[in-house]
Structure 1
Amino acid sequence: MDAAVRARTAARDTVEDIEPPRLRAVLLDRLERASMAPGVLVYESALGRKPSLAPEAVIDRSVGVQLIYEGLRLTRSLAHEEPWTTAEESEIDADLEILAADILVSRGFYLLARTEVSDAAVETIRAFGRDQTRRREPDADAPTLDRNLEADIFVLAVRAGVTAVGTDPTEALLEFAANAARNYETLPPAASVVTEPVRQRLTELAAGSDDPVASSVGDR
């Protein structure tokens, strides 16, 4: 089972107990369609080119980061589209999606709460709230503020990965992750994000190399 399939399966398993069924269906549908890039970054940061050997702790961290991202991404979408201002049926759907976003974030944080990245997870969520508040200002750079979410999530992902195997992330690694996320308006499938050059670069930077001759995430 490759890392993306493992991440998606584990994420879906995390919300299988949610009731009522209609809410659970919303959660499962989003996770089925989502890019697993954040979760896969956790695997690759921790275990390099052998994600199939991931221990349970790495799986939990991968799911935690993925769920937080999906919850915040859904919140961002709802804040921009404001679906509750339309038809009555849309209001019901929007209510379910608001609940789904809360559940995704809370369950994701639960998985990270007892890890070395718990504080970083809290700051990621707070930074998202600050950015979305600033986005409402007349002179706000909305696209940049929106992309901060992906940058912060990629940073959280590599933090979660490298600390899972007992090391601290280098500044170069965190910078690489943040810059990488800004290549995308919408995250594509994980295989298009975490390419072979990216895996190599993650390994180099996790080991302390700051050689600038490196490919960026998204190189094809």
Structure 2
Amino acid sequence: MQEAAVVRRAATDAIEDVGPEQLHDRIVSRLEGSAMIAGVLTVQCARAVLERRAAGTARAVIDHPDDPLTDAVAKRAVGVQLIYEGLGLTRTLAQDPPWPADQKDEGDLDVLIADILVARGFYLLAHTEASDEAVTTVRAFGRDQTVRRETDDTSLDRNLEADVFELATVAGTTAVGGQPSPGLREYANSLADGALANGGRPEFSTDRLSELVSIDSTGCDGVRTSADH
């Protein structure tokens, strides 16, 4: 998928300054093995808004790498993806901790990586309309993991994907002056089951996204705009 390659390349660039080399290489390896689905959904939501406005305009989001719009959308896509990667790694560490298996160094390194990924994702979404949603996503994840540990309720696992995919709708649509309609957010939430069933690769319809986005930039969902920050 072309969008996945674009997001992966941008994500790798976003952590280029992370050191030392061992840490950097481990993060790159993780990104190279990721489907980048959260970032792709972000890009597709931006494209869906543009397609609603004018046929053919959306193609510029991907096909013209020098277009400043490309950079703006890509940064948001990477922000969403890095938060997902970091929280996903945290979930793995919580449910299958490496320390009891005498893998202390590996475990400690992965904790650091998870923190770096989430922090860098927040940095990329700061001062955007998606910043509040990103905070909500991370807080919800923390609550879910606490409850899961206390109750062993595995149904809570899907909430990370559901929340991140909703974050993607906010980040993507608002990047080009649109809004995520309630229907779009509901559709994104429903993709969580497909993500868990298909190894992190839910199938979503770009036509369906185009039907559900709102091209109204007045904030029908109560999402804060950059002017509110």
Q: Specify the TM-score bucket, using the shorter chain as the normaliser.
A: 0.7 to 0.9
TM-score computed with the length of structure 2 as normaliser: 0.82
**Aligned-partner SS, 1:43:** helix
- Superposition misfits of 4+ residues, deviation over 2 angstroms: 48-51, 186-190
**Aligned-partner SS, 2:143:** helix
Quote the Cα distance in structure 1 between the aligned partners of 2:6 and 2:197: 22
Q: How many pairs are equivalent?
A: 200
1:117 and 2:130 matched: yes
Quote the Cα distance in structure 1 between the aligned partners of 2:131 and 2:115: 17
Give the superposed CA RMSD: 1.8
Aligned-residue identity in percent: 49
1:80 and 2:99 matched: no
CA deviation digits over 1:66-106, x for unaligned, max 9? 0000000000000111101222xx11011111000000000
Residue identity in the other structure for 1:55? T
Q: What is the match of residue 51 of structure 2?
A: none
Q: Which ranges of structure 1 fall in alignment gaps of 5 or more residues?
A: 209-220
Residue identity in the other structure for 1:16? E
Quote the Cα distance in structure 2 between the aligned partners of 1:118 and 1:27: 23
Residue identity in the other structure for 1:21? E
Shift of 1:175: 0.3
Quote the Cα distance in structure 2 between the aligned partners of 1:45 and 1:26: 30
TM-score computed with the length of structure 1 as normaliser: 0.85
Shift of 1:183: 2.1
In structure 2, relative to structure 1, the CA distance for the partners of 1:20 and 1:186 (3 Å cut) is farther
Quote the Cα distance in structure 2 between the aligned partners of 1:3 and 1:63: 11
Quote the Cα distance in structure 2 between the aligned partners of 1:118 and 1:47: 20
In structure 2, relative to structure 1, the CA distance for the partners of 1:180 and 1:129 (3 Å cut) is same
Select which of 153, 161, 174 maps to 1:141: 153
Residue identity in the other structure for 1:65? V
Q: Which ranges of structure 2 fall in alignment gaps of 5 or more residues?
A: 49-57, 64-68, 216-229
Q: Is the 8 A contact 2:179 2:214 kept in 1?
A: no
Residue identity in the other structure for 1:162? T
